[in-house]
Amino acid sequence: MKKKLIIYVIAFSVFASILMPNYTYAAKGDTVSLSLDAAINYALENSKDIAIKEAELEKAKVKYNDDIRAVKSGEKNVDDYPTRDPIFNEAITDAALNQGMINSGALRKSVELPYDIAKWNLEMKRNEIKYNVEKAYYDLLQMEKELEIVVENLKLSEKQYNQGKVKYDLGTISNQELLGLEMGVLKAQNMYESTKMYRDLQVMSFQNTLDMPFDSDIKLTDTIKYKEHEEIDLEASVKKGLENSAMIKMSQENYELAKMTLKGISGRYPENTYRYKEQQAEVAKAEESLETARNGVEMMVRSSYLNLLTAEKQIKTYEKTIEQAQKTLEIAELSFDLGQSTATEVIQANLNLMNAKKELSAQIHAYNMALLDYENSIGFGKGM
């Protein structure tokens, strides 16, 4: 019996380890290592906004279940001209209007749509959180990379200054040139302090996005890199975006409901009555809203595609800029050693190389953001 108990405990431990997520829940003072996927999962599991949307969905589901039974009853007995509203149980003075709303499908649609919208709102909120977390993750990675580049520049400046002190002691450079190298170290130190401050602010922004304690130490396990994508067919992407968009689905359903309602009241209110004209105007408004939603989605797909192509092309340009800046620095250092250039030229070459590296990192970040926006534009969406 004891052996069996040990086996069960081991089996449970193995099973639990398989189910364990790739992160530890953050408590005050903890160091939290996060991959991008783990950060997204953490945010989804701890989101108060999602909890609210889930509660709203449950409420909508209860109302839908109650109301749809009444609608089905009304549809079953539509030829009997019910004298009471099947949903609100109120007296109906015009049974013909009630019959028209049932036959047109407007009554059923008016019950189904709020429930569908609650489901779509929950999915859009999840997509919004995923998008915001991924953007925040990339933003922080970008600042981490920028800090890394600045640290490299500081170390290089210190190395050049130490070499300069040796040359000064040997009498191969002047005191003014040594002071120039020292000034380069001070500038690099100030740049490091400034970048570190911005990095710390970015960490707080990331923590806020994930709803984590601000005094938790964050360690990102992914790295900033160029994410390749498959060849894009723009027209197919536009079509996909129009088919998948939640905003279009909502607008389409509202438009259909408006048309059904117009058809439903037409048996009671002729075309020359105020009530008919009023609903006719609602149909026109709903149609315009649908067209606006479609145009918005198409414009979003096309603009995100253009941004993606532009960012992708510029990456190669910045890669060449780094190569040129590296060669320029090597020449400046060699010329300085030979006494043919000044410390100022070496410092400027340092700055040019550092800025070229920062620009490439920023461009890769811009590309990844453009790819994220493109993927969002052809999907279900995160709302407007």
Question: 299: Cβ–Cβ under 8 A, 6 or more apart, which residues?
Answer: none
Quick one: pLDDT at residue 27?
54
Cα separations (Å) of 149 from 152, 163, 325?
5, 21, 14
User: Which residues, in sequence order, are bridge partners of residue 34?
Assistant: 220
User: Which residues, in sequence order, are bridge partners of residue 220?
Assistant: 34
Q: Where are the domains of the chain?
A: 36-377
Q: Which two tokens stand for residue 232?
A: 């894009």
Is beta strand 217-220 parallel, antiparallel or unpaired with respect to 31-34? parallel
Residue 311's closest CA among 358, 260, 365, 350?
Answer: 365
**Which parts of the chain register pLDDT below 70?**
1-30, 80-93, 383-384
DSSP 79: G
Contact at 8 Å (CB) between 40 and 133? yes
Separation between Cα atoms, residue 143 and residue 198, nearest integer Å: 7
User: CATH for 36-377?
Assistant: 1.20.1600.10
Quick one: pLDDT at residue 336?
86
Question: 118: Cβ–Cβ under 8 A, 6 or more apart, which residues?
Answer: 53, 56, 57, 59, 60, 61
Quick one: pLDDT at residue 16?
40
Contact at 8 Å (CB) between 111 and 191? no
Separation between Cα atoms, residue 132 and residue 121, nearest integer Å: 16
pTM for the predicted model, two decimal places: 0.82
Quick one: pLDDT at residue 337?
84
Quick one: pLDDT at residue 21?
44
Separation between Cα atoms, residue 361 and residue 319, nearest integer Å: 10
